[in-house]
A and B are shown apart, each in its own frame.
Chain A
Amino acid sequence: MINKVVDNIEKALEGVESNMTFMVGGFGLSGIPENAISALSKKEIYGLTCISNNAGVDDFGLGLLLKRKQIKKMISSYVGENAEFERQMLSGELEVDLIPQGSLAERCRAGGAGIPAFFTPAGYGTEVAEGKEVREYNGKPHILESALTADFAFVKAWKGDTAGNLIYKGTARNFNPLMAMAGKITVAEVEELVPAGELDPNQIHTPGIFIQRILQGEKYEKRIEQRTVRKRE
């Protein structure tokens, strides 16, 4: 068994530098690697390119890195919940590459799967297609999208074992399994870390081969972005 466990978040982040490209899992605030983001936001690293579906909110998630102007460029699909993000983008301080969500997911998957590029119908005829090769398949135009990889991928799972195998919970899975595949170094933080052999191999979502470092997160706030409830009848 190959042991992927690191003792603490500092060891997990060893080697991160300014101007690197990071992938950060999560959808909204669900399934984000809280501990890694928090530790990165305390480091003197700047000029980062972050690939993440969203950009957090002003005081949580990637918003923490935005506030300290550590991010030079964001590659995302939807950034509507973060006022500071919008301000930095409209003023030109922050470079932003907005990508259709399905293309973003597939580009990460492709990056980890050794597929350099693929054709998709999403974005044809829009700003997203500018400068991209167009080809017709089955009578329909498609655009060429390239794979994404990163120096580090930071992902979050519910349970993990010492071999790096991961199980996600609910909709907190989202981009995490795809980004886990696409990082040169993938750091997985989990709510519960167990010895190899304790997780049922049938239930593993991300096999440990994609993970270089794993640790149990120190604490999880798991903030809810939009609390919606119904009344009991």
Chain B
Amino acid sequence: MALDKNQIAQRIAQELEHNMYVNLGIGIPTLVANYIPQGIDIEFQSENGLLGMGPFPFEGEEDPDMINAGKQTITTMPGAALFDSATSFAMIRGQHVQLTVLGAMEVAENGDIANWKIPGKMVKGMGGAMDLVASADNIIVAMMHTNRQGESKILKKCTLPITGVNCIKKVVTNLAVLEVTKEGFKLLERAPGVSVEEIITATQAKLIIEEDIPEMQF
């Protein structure tokens, strides 16, 4: 069965490594914080100026001066630090943040990502996404495999205005885990009960499939 959003986040959390600084985008990526594996220390960076982001506050303890990049009220962890936006993006561009997880409207087999604009329809802006994808060493995309019309979001080439070129490393969808290689998308894992054929059908890009594709483990 295809994964739900929480399960996508849970699978991405398996990519976290001890002592990593991580930036989580809005949407599914935010949920990754709920599944940090036991025994692993992670610090979350929020690009509006916080390192060491904690969970949502208890009711009645919300502070308008303490929000994340999605403008949600949050808390700080022991050892947290606060700073201005230029310092925040120095951490990002300077590659001090080691992992970026973000959502996408489209990804392409050359590693391009589009997630900020639908011409004539939706223009919300790129926020920090262009700085993040241009700089991070490791970028994982969390997304549904197809859009609401059932069309593939895993493409040969992006059709929407792109956010960054040749930058994403891995894609985790409700159907599969894909690695971006020089030759294109390599299928690494499939969602429990989802067949390789179903993944091929839902994917517009060419897939590199070597031998047996294992199911994701939770």
Residues of A within 8 A of B (CB): 27-31, 53, 76-81, 86, 89-90, 96, 98, 100-106, 108-109, 120-128, 158, 169-178, 205, 222-232
Contact = CB atoms under 8 A, between A and B. Distances in A.
13 contacts: A29-B71, A79-B125, A100-B134, A105-B84, A105-B85, A125-B166, A170-B82, A174-B48, A178-B86, A226-B71, A227-B73, A229-B58, A230-B58
Contacts of B68: 171
Contact of A123 (B55, B67, B130): B130
Contact of A77 (B56, B58, B126): B126
Given A98-B123, A229-B62, A173 B67 contact: no
Given A121-B134, A171-B50, A229-B59, 19 more contacts: A27-B67, A77-B127, A78-B127, A80-B124, A101-B47, A101-B85, A102-B47, A102-B93, A102-B128, A104-B85, A106-B86, A122-B93, A123-B130, A172-B65, A175-B84, A225-B71, A228-B72, A230-B55, A231-B59
Given A78-B124, A173-B49, A229-B59, A122 B85 contact: no
Interface string B69-105: 1111110000000111110110011000000000000
Given A171-B66, A173-B49, A178 B84 contact: yes
Q: What 5 pairs between A and B have smallest CB-CB spacing?
A: A102-B89, A102-B131, A80-B124, A170-B65, A125-B165
Contacts of A53: 85
Interface string B153-184: 00000000111111000000000000000000
B10 interface: no
B57 interface: yes
Q: Tell me if B's interface is mostly helix, strand, loop or mixed.
A: loop
B150 interface: no
Most B Cβ at <10 Å: residue of A76, A81, A105: A105
A96 B123 CA distance: 10
B131 A122 contact: yes
B142 to A, nearest CB: 19
Given A79-B124, A101-B47, A228 B134 contact: no
B130 A128 contact: yes
Interface of B: 46-50, 55-59, 61-74, 82-86, 88-89, 92-93, 117, 120, 123-131, 134-135, 161-166
A228 to B, nearest CB: 4
Contacts of A172: 64-65
Given A30-B64, A76-B125, A230-B57, A176 B84 contact: yes
A172 B163 CA distance: 27
Contacts of A126: 130, 161-165
A30 B70 CA distance: 12
A226 B66 CA distance: 11
Given A31-B65, A126-B164, A102 B49 contact: no
Contacts of A169: 65
A103 B131 contact: yes
Contacts of A205: 84
B127 A101 contact: yes
A230 B56 CA distance: 6
A89 B125 CA distance: 12
A81 B71 contact: yes
A124 B125 contact: no
A170 B129 CA distance: 22
A39 B50 CA distance: 31
Contacts of A171: 46, 48-50, 65-68, 82
A90 B134 CA distance: 28
Contacts of A80: 124-125
B64 A173 contact: no
